[in-house]
Structure 1
Amino acid sequence: MRIISGKYKGRRFSPPADKWPTRPTTDYAKEGLFNVLNNWFYFEDQRFLDLFGGTGSHDYEFLSRGCTDVTYVDKHGPAVKFVERTIAALGEEEHIKIFRMDVFQFIKRPVRQPYTYIFAGPPYPLPNIPEIPDLVFAAGLLAPGGLFVLETNPHHDFADDPRCVEKRNYGKTIFWFFEHPKGEEE
């Protein structure tokens, strides 16, 4: 796993993930996603929420690009410990909040300030992937004008969801882009 761009560009990390229930986004797919995001917004201005954070790959990219408000959520203890060690090695502890908890329990918590960008990379076998966009929007997690990206495999289709504004394929990895319309409340 490598950091693609920013102040930590080129740094490599090797999570001991052989028996983890995580599936890190491939470097190819992650690079494609971040090329799109580079044209979407300024990283420094984002409040980023990483659901099913796994190895923390997306968090490191945001921190590397200047984001100072990152929230990571994952329930797998070894993954959380790996992210804590990696964040400490980068010296970025003050810019990230790490929650070791079930994502669906996190979503139910009251939202103090909505996030401007949310990424969810759930395990592909998770049965309730189709419900995730509705849960995120209903919980008020996404700020008006914000962007939510959901990573899936080809077994899911959100093209008919009116909030879905774009779809990007990178091999068997698909990113669905959902926008929260400015000025509208869910």
Structure 2
Amino acid sequence: MRIIAGAHKGAKLTSPSGANTRPTSDRVKESLFSMLDGYGVLPAANVLDLFAGSGGLGFEAMSRGAAQVDFVDSSLAATRALESNADKLGLDHSAEVHTGDVLHFLGGLPGPDHPESRVFDLVFMDPPYPLGEDAVTQILRRLSTYLDMESIVVVERAARSPEPTMPEGLEVFRAKTFGETAIHFVQLVAEPEEVSAAED
């Protein structure tokens, strides 16, 4: 696996040894980041990479200008590979690697009323395809606490899977299929008064 564009273009990433990971293909990644470039979300972004594996999406975002990435994976082999990749790329100062369950990680973040609360500009969520839709919805519900109206969540699923069920407050605003992979772009739903203000 390699980084396809930006400051670290061409850099090879270490994959977790013996881990059952499913890296996003270069074709999907190139199209995905082309769309993200169009939204202007990458420069100086605070990024969260859930089910990160070797970190192909998060490190690609950093190569293209993201300021900070938190990588989360439950596999120790994956997080060791993530730390190795961050060190190799000289990005260990702006990459935080967390070993553990995604829901547990999100539950441990400071809440919105806390002075150290977090807001993520961009979130990659690439769970194992067998992960049930209820679990995906539960993660999205927990995640919504750490988003603002400009945030984008990218959910990668099998093309044969149904569109993820959105919890209250979130919506899919764009979706695209690449062979066996489907990408869903998710954002917070604008409150009625915000929609009215935008139309005035």
Q: Give your verdict on TM over 0.5.
A: yes
Q: 1:67: Cα distance to partner?
A: 1.1
- Consecutive aligned runs of 4 or more in structure 1 exceeding 6 Å deviation: none
My pick for the range that moved more, 6-15 or 30-39, is 6-15
Of residues 109, 113, 118, the one that matches 1:113 is 118
Counterpart in 2 of 1:49?
A: 48
Q: Where do 5+ consecutive residues of structure 2 fail to align?
A: 111-116, 193-200
Instruction: Give, in angstroms, the shift of residue 10 of structure 1.
Output: 1.3
- 1:68 positional shift: 1.4
Q: Give the residue type in structure 2 aligned to 1:142.
A: L
Q: Which moved more, 1:139-148 or 1:158-167?
A: 158-167
Q: Which amino acid aligns with 2:97?
A: I
Superposition CA RMSD, Å? 2.1
Task: Report how far residue 148 of structure 1 moved.
Answer: 0.7
Q: In 1, distance between residues paired with 2:191 and 2:151?
A: 11
Equivalent runs, 1:9-28 vs 2, <5 Å: 9-17=9-17, 19-28=18-27
Alignment TM-score, normalising by the size of structure 2: 0.82
Greater CA drift, 65-74 or 139-148: 139-148
Q: Following superposition of structure 1 onto structure 2, how do residues 1-186 of structure 1 map, counting pairs within 5 Å?
A: 1-17=1-17, 19-111=18-110, 112-127=117-132, 129-139=133-143, 140-158=145-163, 161=166, 163-181=171-189
SS in 1 for 2:93: helix
Q: 1:16 to 1:134 in 2, by over 3 A?
A: closer
- The aligned counterpart of 2:114 is none
Distance 1:5 1:159 in 2: 29
**How big is the shift at 1:21?**
1.9
Q: What amino acid sits opposite 1:135 in the alignment?
A: I
Q: Does the 8 Å CA contact 2:119/2:147 hold for their aligned counterparts?
A: yes
Q: Tell me, which stretches of 5 or more residues in structure 1 are unaligned?
A: none
Contact 2:42 2:66 in 1 (8 A): yes
TM-score using structure 1 length: 0.88
Helix, strand or coil: the match of 2:150? strand
